[in-house]
Structure 1
Amino acid sequence: MSFSDCCFQGFSWQGTPTGRIGKLSNNDVYIAGDDTDTAILFIADLFGWTFPNVRLLADHFAREIGATVFVPDFFGGEVLDFDLISKEKFDQLDLPGFIGRNGREQREPEIFECARALKRQHGYKRVGAVGYCYGGWASFRLGAKEHAADPLVDCISIGHPSLMTKKDIDEIAVPVQVLAPEIDAAYPPELKSYTFETLQKLKIQFDYQHFPGVVHACFIRGDENHPGERAAMIRGKNAAVTWFRQFLKET
């Protein structure tokens, strides 16, 4: 499949997800697509695996990349209020408690197990990881050098990451795409600069894209009431499609 074959689509804002529910390792999972060679592990943000835009985005990735996309539940069945998240009414959510139950230490082992299952149990030849917000740190950990002898993923793409550390960046060992909103307290300018400078020093193939005027969560929320956010979501989706086609489909 050549790069020129890629026909980008907009976004099915009012669409109905077309995937199916299954299991990946021990986790419930939304599955889009039926490619037998290429898989993408989609690690959602606080909206979680049931949020309609998350599933519609997985559907787009499956169609446009030519992959099977897996969106596991990494929050133990817990679902936060979509409306409160979308309107950024975080004071009405128990975020400390939620993160305490679903933090890095608690969820990293099962995230690793889901990635291992794609190659070992399901036989996918190439696997990518895409992560937004919460999924940003997780995607970096999946691509860490500690897995170099038996890689969990072949490349990653992240958007508006949270909970990510400099150590995560230091240890990356696979090609990386970073989609970075201009206004993002969870991914501040210092960490953005550190990402860009460190990836060059590591001689990692990477794509860093800046999205002016938009805020954290734009790539999932796509709220038409936030100027430029829907366009940013579409641009971000298209960028990830290009990235994964290049590193997972091109030969």
Structure 2
Amino acid sequence: MPTPIPPCCLKSFPWTGTPTGTETSLSSLPTYTTGTNRRSALLFIPDLLGWRFPNARLLADAFAAEANLTVFMPDFFAGEELDRDAILEGRWGDLDLLDFSERNARGVREGAVVAAARELRARFERVGAVGYCYGGWAVLRLGAREEGGLLDCGVVGHPSWVVEGDFDGFGNVPLQILAPEVDGQFTDELKGYAFRKLVLEKKGDDGVPVDWVHYPGVAHGCLTKGDENVKGEREAMVKGKDAAVGWLKQWLS
């Protein structure tokens, strides 16, 4: 059974702006698509607020425009959406987070995530993946050694539901980790384990570029919430977006 997502992971603050992409399909899933690059694609696995949440779509638009990519963000939750107003208003009692987490557990959604990445690999020369919170474990899974070449790079922001085995089995895929200081999901202990497995124990021919970005003084979720009323959060969101854009340009151009 997956660990229930705590309410702090779901609090969010809508950015300004209107998403500019369209709704298409990928691997038979409804998908938000933005960008026009025919060579390089990015699979975006969002947090539990899902593929329709404006913040996620605006981030996808930014990646498409600033890194020159075609970005695909499928609905991996089978049409189910959490009550956004309840989340924004802090009415946690109105949300059945445990059941939602069980219906969308790793074992339930992994097949669809892998299938989407395989379709992009068949269609594009270069393929990357980015995932925040819930999407973090999915990016690590796509970069696993046994998947063998699904990704050319990955970006993981304040990941949830990750376990030590995700880092034990990660392959030779350039990876960026965006890690806020305060994170009950990606704990200090798990951060230390990940750094040791991805960096300290990979030498020579086994080594692979890892970009580890630490965001002091901010908490889990800041890279997508961007709440300007929380000290440092909007700045962290902007820096996180810029860092991801730079990484994606480096490996997918």
Alpha carbons 2:154, 2:174 under 8 Å: kept: yes
Does 2:184 match 1:182? no
Aligned-residue offset at 1:13 = 3.3
Alpha carbons 2:45, 2:135 under 8 Å: kept: yes
> Which segments of 5 or more consecutive residues in structure 1 lack a partner in the other structure?
1-11
In the other structure, the counterpart of 1:68 is 70
In the other structure, the counterpart of 1:209 is 213
Alpha-carbon separation, structure 2, partners of 1:184 and 1:84 = 23
Alpha carbons 2:182, 2:218 under 8 Å: kept: yes
Aligned-residue offset at 1:90 = 3.9
What do residues 159-210 of structure 1 show as CA deviations (whole Å, max 9, x unaligned)? 0100001101111111110000111101110001111111111323100111
Distance 1:117 1:59, change over 3 A: same
Give the number of aligned pairs.
234
Alpha carbons 1:142, 1:153 under 8 Å: kept: yes
Aligned-residue offset at 1:82 = 2.3
Alpha carbons 1:29, 1:70 under 8 Å: kept: yes
AA aligned to 1:130 is: V
Alpha carbons 2:23, 2:31 under 8 Å: kept: yes
Alpha-carbon separation, structure 1, partners of 2:88 and 2:213 = 23
Alpha carbons 1:136, 1:162 under 8 Å: kept: yes
Alpha-carbon separation, structure 1, partners of 2:68 and 2:217 = 31
Alpha carbons 2:29, 2:75 under 8 Å: kept: yes
Distance 1:242 1:176, change over 3 A: same
TM-score by length of 1: 0.90
Alpha-carbon separation, structure 2, partners of 1:57 and 1:49 = 11
Aligned-residue offset at 1:88 = 5.5
Alpha-carbon separation, structure 2, partners of 1:87 and 1:199 = 39
AA aligned to 2:95 is: L
Correspondent of 2:43 among 41, 44, 48: 41
Distance 1:231 1:106, change over 3 A: same
Does 2:126 match 1:126? yes
Alpha carbons 1:86, 1:221 under 8 Å: kept: no
TM-score by length of 2: 0.89
The 3-state SS of whatever aligns with 2:243 is helix
AA aligned to 1:101 is: R
Correspondent of 2:160 among 149, 157, 162: 162
What do residues 107-135 of structure 1 show as CA deviations (whole Å, max 9, x unaligned)? 00010000011122xx2000000000000
Distance 1:130 1:32, change over 3 A: same
Alpha carbons 2:15, 2:54 under 8 Å: kept: no
> Which segments of 5 or more consecutive residues in structure 2 lack a partner in the other structure?
1-13
Aligned pairs for 1:75-114 (under 5 A) are 75-86=77-88, 89-114=91-116
Correspondent of 2:60 among 53, 58, 61: 58
Does 2:204 match 1:193? no
Aligned-residue CA RMSD (Å): 1.4
Alpha-carbon separation, structure 2, partners of 1:159 and 1:209 = 10
AA aligned to 2:185 is: A
AA aligned to 2:155 is: S
The percentage of aligned residue pairs carrying the same residue is 51
What do residues 205-250 of structure 1 show as CA deviations (whole Å, max 9, x unaligned)? 100111111111111111112111111110000000000111111x
Alpha-carbon separation, structure 2, partners of 1:232 and 1:223 = 10
Alpha carbons 2:45, 2:131 under 8 Å: kept: yes
Alpha carbons 2:40, 2:70 under 8 Å: kept: yes
AA aligned to 1:127 is: V
Does 2:241 match 1:242? no
Alpha carbons 2:86, 2:92 under 8 Å: kept: yes
